[in-house]
Structure 1
Amino acid sequence: MIVADTPAGLFGPLFAAVQESGLFPDSKTFADARPRREPAAILADWQSQRPAPGETLRRFIFANFDVPRAQPAPSPDGLKLAAHISALWPLLTRVSGEPAPGSSELWLPHSYVVPGGRFRELYYWDSYFTMLGLARSGRQDLVENMIGNFGSLLDRIGHIPNGTRSYYASRSHPPFFYLMAALSRDDSVGGRRRRLAWMIREHGFWMAGEGGLAPGGEVRRVVRLADGALLNRYWDDSDCPRDESWREDIALAAEAPARDARELWRDIRAAAESGWDFSSRWLADPLNLATIRTTRLVPVDLNALLFGLEQAIAEAARGLGETSRADDFAARAERRARAISDHLWNGETGHYADFDLDSARVSGRLTAAAAFPLFMGVASADQARRAALALERLLRPGGLMTTLCDSGQQWDAPNGWAPLQWIAISGLRRYGETGLADSIAGRWLAMVEAHYEASGQLFEKYDVVACAAGSGGEYVTETGFGWTNGVTLELLATQDEAGTLG
């Protein structure tokens, strides 16, 4: 299914011709281009002219589209790290204009902060970590604006897309909205009711299809296991190549001719919904992306977050006197907690992991996602202790590796990511595992600071083995960078509050 109002849907064969010709090194460039006139008129002219690939096609595209230019990396400014990050927020702040007809942009009512580089729009789970830093910088105005933007998306679309582009609207991202909502300082009854309504709407999106689902049943993002446990998986409501990575997805399908291409693309898109695009975590063969099987796994991080969402709804509803709703969601959270312990805890390896729907067993692969149940407080004391011992196996000179597998994918070794450091540090501290938490924080900050002093830049991801910029994936490592900025400020602040980290 190609979503009709995405660039691929609007421009059909023209879009495919541009993307598959490699006219732009980054497939996202043309997906983000703004048509200069009505899409139907552009498409009709292309069909009549049929410009040949190469310079003729390039001239046609630049005559009919405003093509986004690469964003320059922020210039080194000689400031101390925290001051540099605070100075970056205005450079990364955007305000929506009226989208041109046929543009992939989604309008937003308030100002917002983008990650940086090729990521020129608002992203979902990235924004929570950015907002931690905004709050530390005294930019509560932007925190409230971004909560309002996500609420607007829930009102208009029914869920929060991966990012604010039409081609992202068939999927979401890890559900961090309720944690963003908790950063609000609007304690009015009206504000609390709005945030509760938005959380309920998001929960409904993730649970769509749960009614009447029999044991062993699966529908979109919901699965009911053989024992009746109701859990969730990542999904995408489209099964075609991604607009922003069209050429890559077409090529991947060609590498696996025996596999149904639409099944492959759905699994690729589901991994994009997870935020871990891509990782050996989702692969049958850890070194072969064409073996991706995201939709056959029940992810531990997603279900820990949904446990937190159900708890947050129960607490907010009780505070507003909605006792029946509070009881319902508290019971949901309790059932999910049992299911996480029963199905997403690997007692043999001593860590949390994903449940494999095909083998009906929990995975033995250790990833940084194992920290999410600690972050959400769903682990028992013994599980937390054992999980901490397992997570220590991911510790390297620059912090926590994402997995133990060096596959060449960006969400694998040797890369570490700011959000996963923060999740692990927070979760470990929650259970009193302060030694490991402080070690992760201290190593990560030392690496980020050393790299900043040498280059004047912060990066999207880091190689925590070599203590250098990260690599791998579909695009070059970006600078900016929203969630690294936010987590770094939060860690610097907690370091100052707690004293020197070990």
Structure 2
Amino acid sequence: MDEIHTYGFIPNGGRIYYLDRSQPPMFTRMVADYVAETNDTSVLARAVPSIENELQWWMNNRSVSVTSSYTGKTYTMFHYSVNNSAPRPESYIDDYSTAFDPTLPSLSESGRSALYAELASGAETGWDYSSRYSAQPLAGGTNNTNPTLRTLNVRNIIPIDLNSILYKAHTLAADMYTSSGNSSAAATHLAVAASLREGILDLFWDSSKLAFYDYNLTSNARNDLYSAATFYPLWNGIIPDEVLESTENAFGFFAGLNLVLNRYNGTMPVTFLETGLQWDAPNTWPPHQYIILEALKALPSNITTSALPTPPSNSSTYALVPEGQISVAEDALPGQPIGGAGKNATKVGPAADISRLDGTVVNGGNATAGEGWAHALQRELANRYFASALCSWHATGGSIPGYLPRLSDQELNVTQSINNTGNMFEKFNITDVDSSGSGGEYTVQAGFGWTNGVVLWIASNYGQELVTPDCPDLLTITGASGGATKSAAVSAYARPSLAMLVALIVIAITNSLA
């Protein structure tokens, strides 16, 4: 609140050179969640003016008028747009190298200034960086990011997630004003929220593909790149009529998630494109798993109680995905390595669903009789995230004497963790629950707050459905041991109880933050 009081917004970081860009506007929701959890309404006397100031800052500095190419209606929407003409101080060498890359065409001074503004705007999104904001997502292939960064088009993208967050912020602000008797202020925020809701459904929603896509001001049309941002509207209370009208459509919206759980070892990736950028495949991020779970919970029961659909006998779960939804052909999806085999699983046909089991998926928990499809996906994703957090922590030296033995030095040498005591990583890998994510401008962070927070939230909300993760054998994966026995997280000890599983994660978090 002090930062909003001083600057009108929450800067992207705690140094003076971040004062030209904001964090994504989560403050209103944070206040609402705090009050709902604690019933401490005394904070509102100071918080509500701060909420008003921040929302006004976004209206004054990041709003843009958009006329829909689909309906002709005009909306006030929001985008990330930083006025910057120099490399970011915190990533000066990276930005300079992107601008002056000798393998790429030289840029004029104005071209470099525009690129620096795009790079700063990309940092403001929180998704720094993703093919989602690039005009040529695969310009550099899978490991050369500079060509892709050169084509960033952040300022001309109207993002699904930002506008969904602001829609919810205005509805929550209206609720706060209503509770204090300020009906005029409440009406103002409700009007903004109503316009945003209409704009989100008009500009972003594709009813034929059953997904949301960012709106591109350059092309005056939706982008076709599928990303985890598609789940933000449901998380924030916007469910399209087409999703509500049938079980088939509701499942279709989540069919990409179902594909991931059956096809891969990890959780839902940011996109299905492998670009070398950290907000693309193979990386998966903890906040997205939380948002997806909340989106599933937002669906009404009348469209969620039937069983999970199964694909035709000669097809994989890709066949259940609405045509064109995930923007990538089945044979172009990221591969799932097979441990110890030195190759990927097949990319097409039923054999591609390498994690599929009878009624569930690998590290997806146990199915129950009469379980609806939405609950099944929640159970599977909650368990899979739990496995990603615990297995990667254990694979980097985590242990609890008497309950969870430390891996051998030979095993820990695979992850270069012989002298480590376990990491809770900021991001994970879609293909390996033993591993962190990769890419980006900095070393992968350990002991990350949102990773720990999502673990605790899942333990609180799905604790009775969590089962002991089955962690891959590090030696078998790398081929270091021809006949190594499976190194499950519990090794020679008895499989722990549910309560112990939750305790393991709590201790893991404490250990990672020590």
Shorter-normalised TM range: 0.5 to 0.7
Match of residue 224 from structure 2: 364
Match of residue 201 from structure 2: 341
The 1:392/1:262 distance shift into structure 2, 3 A limit, reads: farther
For 1:300-319, what aligned pairs fall within 5 Å after superposition?
300-319=160-179
Q: Deviations over 1:281-317 (max 9, x none)?
A: 1111113221111111000000000000110111000
| Distance in 2, Cα, partners of 1:290 & 1:205 | 29
> Matched residue of 1:448: which SS?
helix
State yes or no: 1:469 paired with 2:429. Answer: no
Note if contact 2:426-2:445 (Cα within 8 Å) is conserved in structure 1: yes
| Distance in 2, Cα, partners of 1:360 & 1:485 | 40
CA RMSD of aligned residues (A): 2.1
Q: 2:78 aligns with which of 232, 257, 260?
A: 232
Amino acid paired to 1:343:
L
The 1:443/1:224 distance shift into structure 2, 3 A limit, reads: same
Match of residue 156 from structure 1: 6
Deviation (angstroms), 1:254: 1.4
| Distance in 1, Cα, partners of 2:63 & 2:21 | 10
| Distance in 2, Cα, partners of 1:365 & 1:415 | 16
Note if contact 1:404-1:412 (Cα within 8 Å) is conserved in structure 2: yes
State yes or no: 1:178 paired with 2:46. Answer: no
Note if contact 1:394-1:403 (Cα within 8 Å) is conserved in structure 2: no
Q: 1:407 aligns with which of 264, 275, 281?
A: 275
Amino acid paired to 1:336:
L
> Matched residue of 1:229: which SS?
strand
| Distance in 1, Cα, partners of 2:41 & 2:155 | 39
| Distance in 1, Cα, partners of 2:212 & 2:295 | 13
Deviation (angstroms), 1:499: 6.6
The 1:498/1:445 distance shift into structure 2, 3 A limit, reads: closer
For 1:20-169, what aligned pairs fall within 5 Å after superposition?
151-169=1-19
Deviation (angstroms), 1:497: 5.8
State yes or no: 1:420 paired with 2:288. Answer: yes
| Distance in 2, Cα, partners of 1:473 & 1:310 | 33
Amino acid paired to 2:215:
F
Match of residue 257 from structure 1: 106
The 1:480/1:499 distance shift into structure 2, 3 A limit, reads: closer
Range that drifts further, 236-245 or 309-318? 236-245
Amino acid paired to 1:228:
T
Deviation (angstroms), 1:500: 6.1
Deviation (angstroms), 1:266: 0.9
The 1:328/1:425 distance shift into structure 2, 3 A limit, reads: same
| Distance in 1, Cα, partners of 2:289 & 2:40 | 33
State yes or no: 1:191 paired with 2:43. Answer: yes
Q: Which runs of 5+ in 1 are unaligned?
A: 1-150, 210-219
Larger relative contact order (Cα-Cα within 8 Å, sequence gap ≥ 6): 1
Q: Which runs of 5+ in 2 are unaligned?
A: 139-147, 245-249, 305-373, 397-421, 470-514
| Distance in 1, Cα, partners of 2:192 & 2:153 | 28
The 1:360/1:332 distance shift into structure 2, 3 A limit, reads: same
| Distance in 2, Cα, partners of 1:206 & 1:239 | 21
The 1:393/1:358 distance shift into structure 2, 3 A limit, reads: farther
Q: Deviations over 1:86-115 (max 9, x none)?
A: xxxxxxxxxxxxxxxxxxxxxxxxxxxxxx
Q: What count of residue pairs does the alignment treat as equivalent?
A: 342
Deviation (angstroms), 1:224: 3.0
| Distance in 1, Cα, partners of 2:5 & 2:377 | 41
Match of residue 457 from structure 1: 423
Deviation (angstroms), 1:348: 3.2
Match of residue 327 from structure 1: 187
State yes or no: 1:397 paired with 2:265. Answer: yes
Note if contact 1:267-1:292 (Cα within 8 Å) is conserved in structure 2: yes
State yes or no: 1:441 paired with 2:385. Answer: no
Note if contact 1:349-1:364 (Cα within 8 Å) is conserved in structure 2: no
Amino acid paired to 1:464:
I
The 1:499/1:381 distance shift into structure 2, 3 A limit, reads: farther
Amino acid paired to 1:447:
S
| Distance in 1, Cα, partners of 2:447 & 2:458 | 18
Note if contact 1:355-1:361 (Cα within 8 Å) is conserved in structure 2: yes
Please report the TM-score for the alignment, with normalisation by the length of structure 2: 0.63
For 1:275-314, what aligned pairs fall within 5 Å after superposition?
275-287=126-138, 288-314=148-174
Structure with the higher helix share, 1 or 2: 1
The 1:187/1:269 distance shift into structure 2, 3 A limit, reads: same
| Distance in 2, Cα, partners of 1:424 & 1:402 | 12
> Matched residue of 2:219: which SS?
coil
Note if contact 1:439-1:501 (Cα within 8 Å) is conserved in structure 2: no
> Matched residue of 1:223: which SS?
strand
Deviation (angstroms), 1:347: 2.5
> Matched residue of 2:150: which SS?
helix
Match of residue 245 from structure 1: 91
Amino acid paired to 1:496:
G
| Distance in 2, Cα, partners of 1:196 & 1:405 | 41
